[in-house]
Amino acid sequence: MDENAPLFIKLDEHKDILNIVTVIKKKVQESKNTLGRIENLRAEEKNELENWTKNLNDVHTKVELIDRMFTNPKF
């Protein structure tokens, strides 16, 4: 089929097609926006998990220090 060949469609079908294309474009944009929000949430989640890991490691280090102080006191 020649891409430059004329295409004949009924006017009411043309309007329907344009409406459908508009709806599809809108849905695609909504999907992109949703994916963007998901990516932002994942980034926030990653930052929170990194903070929790750091805090947990700090607590672990302090507990280990306290444990060593009580199990091996140096008077």
pLDDT beyond 90 at 73: no
Average pLDDT over residues 9-22: 88
Average pLDDT over residues 43-54: 98
**Residue 19 pLDDT class (50, 70, 90 cuts):** very high
Exposure class string for 16-41: b at 16+ Cβ within 10 A, else e: eeeeeeeeeeeeeeeeeeeeeeeeee
> What is the per-residue pLDDT for 11?
78
pTM over 0.75: no
d(CA 35, CA 41) in angstroms, rounded, equals: 10
CB 10 within 8 Å of CB 2:
no
**Residue 51 pLDDT class (50, 70, 90 cuts):** very high
